[in-house]
């Protein structure tokens, strides 16, 4: 499968600590050696670094671990290929522009019998993954529902995406992160958790490598930073485990909306 | 203004040498200090590195200068801001997906009175530049002309883009590079040149910094590599200067189509 990592913060924050833990799982403490990627939003703009080689060995991942990029919203992914070969075009996160936003998306899981559901016209996959097809389909549905003009109520847009994600859950495992830079949506099928750090800050210790950080020295008392991950990255903090069918919408580090779907209709 | 750099090659080739020269113009030998970016195509996939700081000082540019990424098609840009503030979202190259291709684009020049012409619906700018608006408009016209299904005749698509680029020339200076990964189009208003290197290869010396390369040691006899730039990057080679209204379509290092437009209709 794969592993996901994401961050939503109320001040530009670097993700070096968390990414250092995740990157170990790409070949050292985990089997996710088929590529990795990370997207940083900085204001309205975003940039994605990706590589089709293991994150534990990547020159570019080494840069990300040593060069703090301050961002309010981050999405990262390490890949263990199932659908689609090991190639740059199959490496998450994927991104598309809609309504003048860069949308960024990453998926953990595997879908079956999805090609019929994911009929596409305006957004097309560049690679061969079920993940990118699902992303394109989600965006197609947004245009069908909300039209070509940017909607005023973005939380309603993300709530609609969550309902669509629950439909996709009928096709398999669909743990998913989606952001337009300002909001960040997490949707859980089976493996996703989060932690929100705020004052008083303490020390945190990575599970996957010998790194300890004292957040009290890295933050101000007003900082609020949420981190979402497939599995907890630190061993001494209380991560909240998400439930199947649960979604959470983050904005500036806080959960601003959420909900819980029942099992999807298998005929959906 | 800005400077452009692009490459089309018949084998995956690194652009470290040329980028090293270009990056100097972002703060050392040139005034283009308002950001830089570079896109590498690797097969169907692509990845873009960008920074809103000067290329001569950027940590990420240092990585690009020291870590050879092999690519058949590259587009790079260093920015001196005119329209739009210094920010990541205003940093070239820009990219959008259409027909399952990642399209990458960079522009050198400045347009006036463009907002009326560039009425947009499906493709919207994320930033505030005339350049990104022009890119979105070009893609809108492609959908209007060719529809939602990928056209079979891609050279015809690029020839149409060249005619649209000539329309845009009525609004100001429009030197432009566009690629779908396989083909690479250059369109000249006033400053663009190219060189095609093939056997027998020789030595080349950068103008902007003390670097010499012996291409004979870096290549095989079958390699064909074209480099396009705003101004020549080497001092000992014969760069071909493009004419106003001229366009060239590159594929695997060779020019496969091209043409020459007259002055655009000022009322276009």
The closest CB to that of B97, out of A52, A67, A96, belongs to A96
Give the Cα separation of B99 and A122 in Å (integer).
8
pLDDT in tens, A138-163: 999 999 999 999 999 999 999 999 99
Q: Region B188-200: what's the mean pLDDT?
A: 97
Would residue B56 count as lying in a domain? Answer: yes
Q: Region B17-28: what's the mean pLDDT?
A: 92
Would residue A220 count as lying in a domain? Answer: yes
Sheet with strand A94-98: strands edge to edge = A94-98, A101-108, A175-179, A183-187, A246-251, A254-260
Closest B-chain CA to A58: B67
Give the Cα separation of A183 and A198 in Å (integer).
19
The length of chain B, given as a count of residues: 268
Question: Structurally, how many domains does chain A consist of?
Answer: 1
Instruction: Return the pLDDT at B1.
Output: 72
Neighbours of A122 (CB within 10 A): 16
Would residue B267 count as lying in a domain? Answer: no
Could you say which residues of chain A have pLDDT below 70?
265-268
Would residue B266 count as lying in a domain? Answer: no
Q: Region B31-59: what's the mean pLDDT?
A: 94
Give the Cα separation of A123 and A130 in Å (integer).
14
Contact B45 A127 (CB under 8 A): yes
Contact A42 B88 (CB under 8 A): yes
Output DSSP code: residue B88: G
Nearest to B239 by CA among B231, B248, B247: B231
| pLDDT at B268 > cutoff 50 | no
Closest A-chain CA to B60: A63
Would residue B61 count as lying in a domain? Answer: yes
Instruction: Return the pLDDT at A82.
Output: 85
Q: What pLDDT band is residue B266 in, cutting at 50, 70 and 90?
A: low
Q: Phi-psi bin for A84: left (phi > 0), alpha (psi -120 to 50), beta?
A: left
Chain B: nearest CA to A265, how far in angstroms? 30
Q: What is the CA radius of gyration of chain B?
A: 17
A 34-93 → B contacts, CB under 8 A: 42-52, 59-60, 63, 67, 87-91
Would residue A176 count as lying in a domain? Answer: yes
Give the Cα separation of B67 and B64 in Å (integer).
5
Instruction: Return the pLDDT at B178.
Output: 98
Which distant-in-sequence residues (6+ apart) come within 8 Å of B195 by Cβ? B226, B227, B232, B234, B237, B238, B239, B240
Would residue B162 count as lying in a domain? Answer: yes
Contact B123 A148 (CB under 8 A): no
Which residue's structure tokens are 């199959």?
A: A90
Would residue A265 count as lying in a domain? Answer: no
- Please give the ipTM for the structure prediction: 0.95
Say whether residue A119 is in contact with chain B using an 8 A CB cutoff.
no
Chain B: nearest CA to A9, how far in angstroms? 19
| pLDDT at B267 > cutoff 70 | no
The CATH number for A168's domain is 3.60.20.10
Instruction: Return the pLDDT at B265.
Output: 67
Instruction: Return the pLDDT at A268.
Output: 44
Name every chain B residue with its beta carbon within 8 A of the beta carbon of A45: 52, 87-91, 126-127
| pLDDT at B157 > cutoff 60 | yes
Bridge partners, A5 (sequence order): A76, A229
pLDDT in tens, B231-260: 999 999 999 999 999 999 999 999 999 999
DSSP string over B2-49: EEEEEEEEEEEE--HHHHHHHHHTBTTSSB--S-EEEEEEETTEEEEE
Chain B: nearest CA to A156, how far in angstroms? 21
Name every chain A residue with its beta carbon within 8 A of the beta carbon of B137: none
- Residue A249's domain comprises 2-260
| pLDDT at B83 > cutoff 90 | no
Q: Catalogue the active-site residues of A.
A: 2
Say whether residue B127 is in contact with chain A using an 8 A CB cutoff.
yes
* Mutate which: B60, B61, B70, B133, vs A, most A CBs within 10 A: B60
Instruction: Return the pLDDT at B24.
Output: 92
Q: Catalogue the active-site residues of B.
A: 2
């Amino acid at each position: 499968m794969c592993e996901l990592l994401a961050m939503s913060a109320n001040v530009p924050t670097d993700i070096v600590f968390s990414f250092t833990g995740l990157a170990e799982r790409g070949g050292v403490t985990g089997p996710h050696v088929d590529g990795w990627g990370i997207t940083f939003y900085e204001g309205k703009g975003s940039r994605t670094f990706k590589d089709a080689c293991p994150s534990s060995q990547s020159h570019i991942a080494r840069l990300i671990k040593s060069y703090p990029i301050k961002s309010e919203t981050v999405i990262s992914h390490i890949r263990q290929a199932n659908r689609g070969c090991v190639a740059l075009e199959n490496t998450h996160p994927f991104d598309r522009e809609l309504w003048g936003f860069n949308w960024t998306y990453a998926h953990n899981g595997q879908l079956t019998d999805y090609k019929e559901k994911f009929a596409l016209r305006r957004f097309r996959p560049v690679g061969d993954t079920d993940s990118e097809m699902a992303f394109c389909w989600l965006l197609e549905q947004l245009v069908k529902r909300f039209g070509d003009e940017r909607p005023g109520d973005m939380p309603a847009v993300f709530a609609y995406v969550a309902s669509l994600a629950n439909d996709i859950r009928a096709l398999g495992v669909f743990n998913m992160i989606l952001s337009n830079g300002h909001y960040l949506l997490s949707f859980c099928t089976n493996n996703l958790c989060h932690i929100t750090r705020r004052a008083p800050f303490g020390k945190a210790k990575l599970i996957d490598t010998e790194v300890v950080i004292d957040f009290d020295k890295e933050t101000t008392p007003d900082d609020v930073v949420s981190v979402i991950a497939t599995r907890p990255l630190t061993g001494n903090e209380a991560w909240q485990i998400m439930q199947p069918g649960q979604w959470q919408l983050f904005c500036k580090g806080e959960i601003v909306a959420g909900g819980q779907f029942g099992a999807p209709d298998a005929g959906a």
